[in-house]
Amino acid sequence: MSKCRKLITTTALITVFGAVPALADTLGIGRLALPEEIAAWDVAIMPDGRGLPEGRGNVLDGEDYWIEQCAVCHGDFAEGAGAWPAIVGGRGSLTDERPLKTVESYWPYLSTVWDYINRSMPFGAAQTLETDEVYAITAYILYSAGLVDDDFELSNENFTEIRLPNEGGFYLDDRAQAEFPEFIRDPCMSDCRDPVEISARATDIDVTPEFPIIRFTYSDGSAPVSAPEVVEEAEEASAQPDAAPEAEAVQLASLDPELVAAGEAAWRQCRTCHQLGDGARNGTGPMLNGIFGQAAAHADGFRYSPAFVEAAEGGLIWTEETLDAFLENPAGLVPRNRMSFRGVRSEDERAALIAYLMSYSN
């Protein structure tokens, strides 16, 4: 739908408090909230500017703060990165099957933007931003959305002059009239639904996905590695009789298939930020195909933190030992890097992850 109910604000909260006497009349409970109780909850920034602290910040400063605090999740230009949401874009998409809800397409008031950043961002370090930094980051978001020029400065004095594109796309919450009657009817107690019957099974209609059969075997007769890339490389090598065996192939053949399978399961905690395999690309973190033997910060097109660039220049190479140290304590091996992951404490789990990464070596 193209219009949405207004977000619950402090005004709505006060309205609920104000409704308590009515509950007292009908249910015999509750009392009118005291002014100091209302004031304790009344910390939101209102659309008309009420609650805004004094401060200011410009687009250029906001860009610096954004790169340092926000870009790792939301992209350099607020376009989103990996599984993290975009902040701008999506105008006119609210009627689409998969709408993109952003500051530019969905949020009604700039006060909502400022208040959310101030309360909840950056992720994992909420309420660490200074007031002027919040103003600057908000100004950069407005610039990224094409709503202001690059020389714009946002402050509490001009805050209410900014209008977001979807301000008129909301209407007052009418659920008490439109929906509540649907939930206060006498409940159905018998014969409420048609009986459920099984019409077909997955095995009957052949919808179970098929995985490639692994034909790569080892000299000791053990089971093969379950990484599709290993199969493809083995088949390509067998199709070229003149090709000499390489050390990498020996390395892949020596992988423990059970360890690789365990690493694939452990990889779930990594795939939010990193990708592996065919079509892998950079997201919140760099893609990790062929990482073994590579220098740190080697993925083309990924914007590494200065700490990783410095580590690469210092000669950091990804080996089993360095990867194990990094997986155990990312900040310990590369201090001040932007990776927020705390590390894998289990030695066995780290070994499994390293084996899984090795199965995707070039």
pLDDT per residue over 231-262, tens digit each? 344 445 444 444 434 444 445 557 788 888 88
CA 121 to chain centre: 13
Is residue 202 scored above 50 in pLDDT? yes
Side chain identity at 301, as an amino acid letter? G
**E strand segments, 17-123:** 56-58
pLDDT digits (tens, 9 = 90+) for 121-179: 998 899 899 999 999 999 999 999 999 999 999 999 999 999 999 998 888 888 888 88
DSSP state of 295: B
For the chain, the first-to-last Cα distance in angstroms comes to: 48
Question: Which residues have C-beta within 8 Å of that of residue 120, sequence separation ≥ 6?
Answer: 126
Model pLDDT, residue 213? 41
- Name the token pair of 102: 């952003």
> Poorest-confidence range of 114-123, 145-154, 203-212?
203-212
Share of the chain above pLDDT 70, in %: 78
Give me the phi and psi of 300, to 5 degrees please.
Answer: -65, 135
Task: Place 62 in a pLDDT band, splitting at 50, 70 and 90.
Answer: very high
Q: Tell me the CA distances in angstroms from 54 to 85, 110, 132, 135, one per residue in order.
A: 29, 16, 9, 10
Lowest pLDDT segment from 57-71, 159-173, 259-273, 343-357: 259-273
**Mean of pLDDT values over 47-73:** 93
- Angstrom distance (rounded) from CA 86 to CA 81: 7
Confidence at residue 114, expressed as pLDDT on a 0 to 100 scale:
95
Q: What is the pLDDT of residue 23?
A: 60
Q: Are 104 and 111 in contact (CB under 8 A)?
A: no
| pLDDT for residue 262 | 87
Give percent helix, percent strand, percent coil of the chain, each to the nearest 5: 40, 5, 55
Is the pLDDT confidence value at 60 over 90? Answer: yes
- What is the rounded CA–CA span in Å between residue 91 and residue 96? 11
State the amino acid at position 43 in one-letter form.
Answer: V
Residue closest to 341 by CA, chosen among 17, 145, 72: 72
User: What's the pLDDT score for residue 44?
Assistant: 80
User: pTM (2 decimals)?
Assistant: 0.45
* Range in 134-143, 181-190, 313-322 with the lowest mean pLDDT: 181-190
pLDDT score for 346? 87
**CB-neighbour burial class of residue 291 (10 A; exposed 0-12, middle 13-18, buried 19+):** buried
**Which pLDDT does position 129 carry in this prediction?**
95
**pLDDT given at position 2:** 44
**Which residue has better confidence, 90 or 198?**
90
Q: Percent of the chain, pLDDT > 90? A: 27
pLDDT at 194: 83
pLDDT > 80? residue 55: yes
Would you say how long the chain is, in residues? 362
State which amino acid sits at residue 204. Answer: D
Instruction: Burial-class residue 88 by CB neighbours within 10 Å (0-12, 13-18, 19+).
Output: buried
Which residues share a beta bridge with 223? Answer: none
Phi, psi at residue 132, to the nearest 5°? -65, -30
Which residues fall within 8 angstroms of residue 141, CB to CB, at 6 or more apart? Answer: 62, 78, 87, 88, 103, 113
Greater model confidence, 339 or 54: 54
- CB atoms inside a 10 Å sphere around CB 173: 15
3-state secondary structure (DSSP) of residue 76: coil
Kindly list the structural domains of the chain, giving each domain's residue range(s) and its CATH number in brackets, ordered by start.
Answer: 48-171 (1.10.760.10), 228-358 (1.10.760.10)
Distance CA 311, CA 296 (A): 7
Extract the tokens encoding 248: 């990498």
User: What mean pLDDT value characterizes the chain?
Assistant: 79
d(CA 265, CA 200): 31
* pLDDT value for 17: 44
